[in-house]
Amino acid sequence: MSKQALLVYNPKSGDEHIPVEELKDRIFLNLRGYDLAVFETTGENDPKKIQEKIQELQPELVLAAGGDGTVKIVAEVIPEDVILAILPMGSANGLAKCLGIDLLEDGLEALRYLKTSPIDGVEINGELCLHLSDFGLNADMIHHFEEEGTRGMFGYIKSSVSQIFKAEPQPFRIKSGDQVWETKSRMLLIANGDRYGTGAIINPMGKMNDGKFEVVAHDVESWEDFLKMTKSMIDGAVPEGNTIQSWSFESCEIENLNQVNFQIDGELKGKPDKITVKILPARFQMVVSKNELHR
């Protein structure tokens, strides 16, 4: 008897459109023993509709075909005991890259093996964060990055160069338990994963299944610091010196003392006075590359 799978398909994801029937054919070449139902997103009340579809079908596997935004709306409603597979088709596929699934073909190949791993989530002010959020420089850069229409590592570095020395270090206060840290940084990152969708490694210490998240302060004072940080984004090595400071937590509170911009998974969230962050250990069962996670 076949098992039930649900494909959540975003028809507007990415620059290269793949019709749903073609995608289904490619899925069936790799996924055996499953019946496949399809839900196409419309941008109108999708989370509620997906939740209702999951309740109706009771699938053992849900496939999210799209970018980080598509994955997030599925992740917000998927039960903990249902497996989630990602087929990266968006312009930003950061979570998939953290799982070792860089391309659509990688996601399809992973369906052959259905190798799963428990993956943590992060809750920020009651909202799910799948892999990366930050204050400051990157949140400011999102506007420039989108306006210029740039893509990939080169686009990220180009945008970084144009903004990084304009930004002033901003003060933050981090609290966890009875400990308090004061720091100044051009970008303060809350990270579950280790890299952006561009492939830039922004949290070299990040692991998505260790029951902790990192708070990472990135700062540059000179071109030498910038080159160190850029090198670490490419090769994943932790740069020497004070370019990066990192803390690992199960929960913490961060005060945004100068009220700079904040974003969660690429979506701007204004300028909150403070945020409360906690780990959601093993919240998801996700299909990973047969070669395991990137980290």
Q: Exposure pattern of 62-78 as b/e (b: 16+ CB <10 Å)?
A: bbbbbbbbbbbbbbebb
pLDDT per residue over 83-105, tens digit each? 999 999 987 788 898 898 989 99
pTM: 0.84
> Mean pLDDT: which of 54-58, 65-69, 149-153, 196-200 is highest?
54-58
Instruction: State the span(s) of the chain assigned CATH 2.60.200.40.
Output: 127-281
Model pLDDT, residue 205: 77
- Closest of 24, 17, 124, 142 to residue 72, by C-alpha: 124
**Residue 288 · residue 112 · CB < 8 Å:** no
| Residue 165 confidence class, pLDDT cut points 50, 70, 90 | low
CB atoms within 10 A of CB 83: 17
* Alpha carbons 187 and 215: distance in angstroms, whole number: 10
* Alpha carbons 229 and 239: distance in angstroms, whole number: 7
Model pLDDT, residue 234: 46
pLDDT per residue over 235-255, tens digit each? 445 544 567 788 999 999 999
Instruction: State the span(s) of the chain assigned CATH 3.40.50.10330.
Output: 3-114
Q: Is the pLDDT of residue 295 over 80?
A: no
* Alpha carbons 138 and 135: distance in angstroms, whole number: 7
**Residue 243 · residue 204 · CB < 8 Å:** no
Model pLDDT, residue 158: 54
What is the DSSP code string of 87-108? EE-SS--HHHHHTT--SHHHHH
Structurally, what CATH architecture does the domain formed by 3-114 represent?
Answer: 3-Layer(aba) Sandwich (3.40)
User: Is 279 exposed, middle or buried, given 0-12, 13-18 or 19+ CB atoms closer than 10 A?
Assistant: buried
Span 34-63, mean pLDDT? 97
| Residue 168 confidence class, pLDDT cut points 50, 70, 90 | confident
Range 127-281 classified under CATH 2.60.200.40: yes
Q: Is the pLDDT of residue 119 over 70?
A: yes
Q: Is the pLDDT of residue 143 over 50?
A: no
* Alpha carbons 287 and 101: distance in angstroms, whole number: 9
Model pLDDT, residue 258: 96
Model pLDDT, residue 1: 72
Better-predicted residue by pLDDT, 187 or 22? 22
- Closest of 279, 282, 276, 283 to residue 126, by C-alpha: 276
| Residue 27 confidence class, pLDDT cut points 50, 70, 90 | very high
Q: Is the pLDDT of residue 232 over 70?
A: no
**Residue 277 · residue 178 · CB < 8 Å:** no
